[in-house]
Amino acid sequence: MKLFGGVIPITGISFLMFSILLIAVVGYALGRITVKGVSLGTAGVFVTALVYGCVFYNALDAQLVDYTKNALKIVENLGLIFFVTSVGFIAGPKFFLNMKVNFKSYVLLGLIIILAGGLAAVVCIFVGRASGETDFDRLTAMVVGLLSGSLTSTPAFSAAKATVAAEYEDIVSVGHGIAYIFGVIGVVLFVQLIPKITGANMEEERKKIQIVDDGASLKKTVDNLVKLDSFSFLPFMFAGAAGIFVGAIKVPLSAQGLSGTTFSLTTTGGCLLVALIMGHFGRIGRLNIMPRESTLKVFRELGLMLFLIGAGVAGGASFAANFQFIYFVYGVFMTIVPMIIGYVFAKKVLKLSLLNNLGSITGGMTSTPALGTLISVAGTEDVASAYAATYPIALIAVVLVSQFLIILF
């Protein structure tokens, strides 16, 4: 394989490793730049990956493009597994007590956010028709793709592709790629700007989301539990493997059974669920199945980095090839509207504290990168419980809303 028309001969593996490490170096440096207290943080890796995909991806020869595309999908999914499994373990010890206290609020907020996104999509469909779009099926496919991208939802993306007519599957992919960029960056900036705009005292806000151990729901640390390995890799990897299996289980949503429309938790939801359960119990007899805190922090950050690189390079290439300004505007609209409506609803109606509110927003928007940013902004990992509680509701709702839009329009 040769890079840039043969100027630099390089193997596929070497090129991929070089690219990942280079993007990480530049991305973390970019993420450190702070303007009036706001920075991209780890999302700087995503921006760097996008630029890399836009500028360099199309300069590769065909053989290297095919190899890199497949390899980046593995990098993206592996990173996602590491990240959500870490989040599940971190949230697990307090998750079920938190759900007991705030269950109705999380369900309502998750539904409100996704329904707001769906209504924003409907507005875009009517605006598109009014502006002269004549192929209504193509317009709907594009908008549904934009919706899945604006909510960074892979399950909605997959469900939309499976529901539209075969000739419009590529249109869904284009829409997803165009909206995905702001879908990531917009939520990342939102969770940083809101505390500054409201003048929040973060120390006070952290106290508001602390869950008091009632002696029954939260497990006490037992020093004499048997550790499976010194770094707790075994229980972590088991949760990831089991999560992939659980996420692959398909539930029929139509009379055709598994040959028709189906729903699954996907790898993300499966890993999150398994890790939550293992983190909640923490032990099997005398076996310690709760990974070390330091291990979880490393895997959380490493996973987020790999996910952003894999998604960013591919998204940048798609963005450069298919960008249209009006569709980008639609995507921005479908990202901003549900965030604002969700935030106001959580604050004014549900009376959630700021960090509980923002944690739920990241879950309702199914935004993995935003959760990583919020943990840094909040200075506590307790926000992961709100994300983990709202995420499954939003996951199911966005798949159903995407399919309903295609059927109705």
Task: List, for residues 140-158, the tens digit of each pLDDT value.
Answer: 888 998 998 898 876 677 6
Stretch 358-383: mean pLDDT: 86
pTM, to two decimals: 0.74
**Whole-number pLDDT of residue 408:** 82
Tokens of 290: 């709760």
Of the ranges 60-69, 280-289, 306-315, which one carries the lowest mean pLDDT score?
Answer: 60-69
Evaluate if residue 62 carries a pLDDT over 80: no
Stretch 165-175: mean pLDDT: 77
Q: How confident is the model at residue 36 (pLDDT cuts 50, 70, 90)?
A: confident
Q: How confident is the model at residue 116 (pLDDT cuts 50, 70, 90)?
A: very high
Evaluate if residue 359 carries a pLDDT over 80: yes
Of the ranges 54-58, 286-290, 307-311, which one carries the lowest mean pLDDT score?
Answer: 54-58
Say how far apart CA 193 and CA 145 lie, in whole Å. Answer: 27
Q: Evaluate the CA torsion angle 112, 94, 148, 239 in order and state its sign.
A: negative
Of the ranges 68-72, 132-136, 320-324, 331-335, which one carries the lowest mean pLDDT score?
Answer: 320-324
**Whole-number pLDDT of residue 7:** 54
Residue with more model confidence, 117 or 211? 117
pLDDT cut 90: percent of the chain above it: 21
Evaluate if residue 213 carries a pLDDT over 50: no
Query: Computed over its alpha carbons, how large is the radius of gyration of the chain?
Result: 21
Of the ranges 57-61, 201-205, 363-367, which one carries the lowest mean pLDDT score?
Answer: 57-61
